[in-house]
Amino acid sequence: MNTSSDQRVESLRQSYEMGKRQKESLLEQQGRLRDAAESLAREARAAVEYMAEALSPGLVDDHRKASPDGLLRISTPDLAKAVAQDVNQRLLRMDAARVADRDADKAHDTLTARAAKLEEMVAQLTAELKQERQAKEEAQTELVVLRVQLKDAQRRLEGGQDALPLPKVVIENESPVAVSVPDERLPEWMKEWKEEGLRKGTYDQDCEALGLLARTGIARRSVLTRTLGEMWSKRPNDGVITRLLERFDRYSLIQTEQAVNETSGGAGRQYLLKLSDKGRDVCRLVLGLAPAGSQLDRLMKRHKSYEHVLLNLESGDLLRDAGYVVDLFPAPLDLPRGGHFAPDLIASLDDDTLFVEVERITPKNTDAWTRKWEIVYEATNGELYVVVANKRARGVMRSDILHCLGQRPLELYLTSVSEARGKGLQGRDVWIGGTGE
């Protein structure tokens, strides 16, 4: 009995020690990142001051005469900008003097090259600082999660309970970890976001919107704004919602992608979105939510482009409005003669289940394109349902499919989002063209 108790205590002690070492390692890593970021900042400052002394000594003298602090009173970006402006002004004066002195051409080229080199150096250092800052923020988030886990392990050890295993903390899209973290332990950028929200009265709205994204994985900005408008009794384009999205962009809480909206003739664009890694971290550490997988990520694994993802979502809307129950993520179906068929959508209404293909007009490999429709034909017993973006695409797709399948007997039902949307078509009336045209 004593041996078993000793072994359990020893196991708890080892678990605690392991967690302690992990914490020390992360603290050391955070220190190195901070030192590296500070070193890069010092190097960038030294480089810009060196360029200022070399290219604009008069500008430097003016700052030193104006204040005992000299160059210390101006930020690095502002100093670089001032030097660039000073060089440009001098170049203009040299251009005016070129008629009188041919040597001005050489000076012009020299200063232009130096100015370009300075701008390149500032841009490179800025990019490096941004990368270091991002790495530091990720390390801070890892450290926060690990500290909470270590505190739990220590509490269980002191209480004589079995310690929970300490998993390796990885910042990834599908992380299931959700913990409650005190404000003082949050990463600095997260504290800044929360403090701004509490000060301006936007914190609760931000949390509601992030929670909505975490629970549903909404993939379209238009759907998010419409849903928030319904929740808050506001128009989707209301300033409250617009400013919320601007905050999310500023703090990098969401990731957005543009897609050409082919259902509007390609004239417009829609924004697809998902929670960024930072947004997921806020959900886990502040809201205590483990975010669901985003629709955008799941659909991009199934489809070829953001435009194809958008068309699938709009096709689902169209069929849902017509009374169908729509599955955007149907499982592959086994074919009688071997192989698999993966429909883009499955739409069900009463006892009617349709395997639906969603197609765009893009360049195709002829053999692969023909083989695709042969598989669809086999899986559906010759009853094909296809959704496209617009009337032109419907005509092209009808001709393509009939050509691929030749003389086979079939029933082909087509519809386009732009033609059928908003007309109140129900059930099979939504299929507005096909072999019966």
Provide the residue type at 39 as one letter: S
Q: What's the whole-number mean pLDDT along residues 209-232?
A: 94
The residue ranking higher by pLDDT, 217 or 36, is 217
Instruction: Pull the structure tokens for residue 274.
Output: 């998902």
> How many Å apart are CA 64 and CA 316, to the nearest integer?
66
Strand 411-416 versus strand 383-388 pairing type? parallel
Q: Say whether pLDDT at 425 is over 80.
A: yes
**145-186 pLDDT, tens per residue?**
555 555 555 555 566 554 444 333 333 344 444 556 678 888
CATH of 183-295, one of 1.10.10.10, 1.10.150.110, 3.40.1360.10, 1.10.246.90: 1.10.10.10
The residue ranking higher by pLDDT, 10 or 275, is 275
Whole-number pLDDT of residue 269 = 85
> How many Å apart are CA 290 and CA 71, to the nearest integer?
48
CB atoms within 10 A of CB 282: 28
Q: Say whether pLDDT at 25 is over 70.
A: yes
Domain covering 306-434 in this structure, CATH number: 3.40.1350
Task: Count Cβ atoms within 10 A of the Cβ of residue 417 and give its class: 0-12 exposed, 13-18 middle, 19 or more buried.
Answer: buried
CB atoms within 10 A of CB 241: 20
> How many Å apart are CA 296 and CA 272, to the nearest integer?
7
Whole-number pLDDT of residue 44 = 79
Q: What residue ranges do the domains of the chain occupy?
A: 2-158, 183-295, 306-434
> How many Å apart are CA 355 and CA 343, to the nearest integer?
6
- Please say whether the beta carbons of 403 and 413 come within 8 A: no
Q: Measuring CA to CA, which residue among 172, 176, 178, 175 is closest to residue 148?
A: 178
Q: Measuring CA to CA, which residue among 363, 364, 343, 362 is closest to residue 354?
A: 343
Q: What pTM did the predictor assign? A: 0.62
Whole-number pLDDT of residue 247 = 96
- Please say whether the beta carbons of 147 and 154 come within 8 A: no
**338-355 pLDDT, tens per residue?**
888 999 999 999 989 999
Strand 268-275 versus strand 325-327 pairing type? unpaired
Provide the residue type at 415 as one letter: T
Whole-number pLDDT of residue 77 = 82
- Please say whether the beta carbons of 261 and 294 come within 8 A: no
Q: Say whether pLDDT at 235 is over 50.
A: yes
Query: Who's near 153: CB < 8 A, 6+ residues apart?
Result: 15, 16, 19, 163, 164, 166
> How many Å apart are CA 241 and CA 225, to the nearest integer?
7
The residue ranking higher by pLDDT, 94 or 104, is 94
Whole-number pLDDT of residue 346 = 95
Side-chain-side CA neighbours of residue 280 (13 Å): 22
Whole-number pLDDT of residue 151 = 56
Whole-number pLDDT of residue 150 = 58
Q: Which of 69-78, 239-248, 253-262 has the lowest mean pLDDT?
A: 69-78
* Residue where the block lists tokens 């997260």: 190
Whole-number pLDDT of residue 102 = 59
Q: What's the whole-number mean pLDDT along residues 406-419?
A: 93
Residue 113: pLDDT band (50, 70, 90) is confident
Whole-number pLDDT of residue 166 = 36
Q: What's the whole-number mean pLDDT along residues 84-111?
A: 69
Q: What's the whole-number mean pLDDT along residues 58-75?
A: 76
**308-331 pLDDT, tens per residue?**
999 999 999 999 999 999 999 999
Average pLDDT of the residues of the chain: 82
Q: Say whether pLDDT at 230 is over 90.
A: yes
Whole-number pLDDT of residue 72 = 75
- In the chain, the percentage of residues whose pLDDT exceeds 70 is 82
Query: Who's near 37: CB < 8 A, 6+ residues apart?
Result: 129, 132, 133, 136
Q: What is the DSSP letter of 181?
A: -
Task: Count Cβ atoms within 10 A of the Cβ of residue 19 and give its class: 0-12 exposed, 13-18 middle, 19 or more buried.
Answer: buried
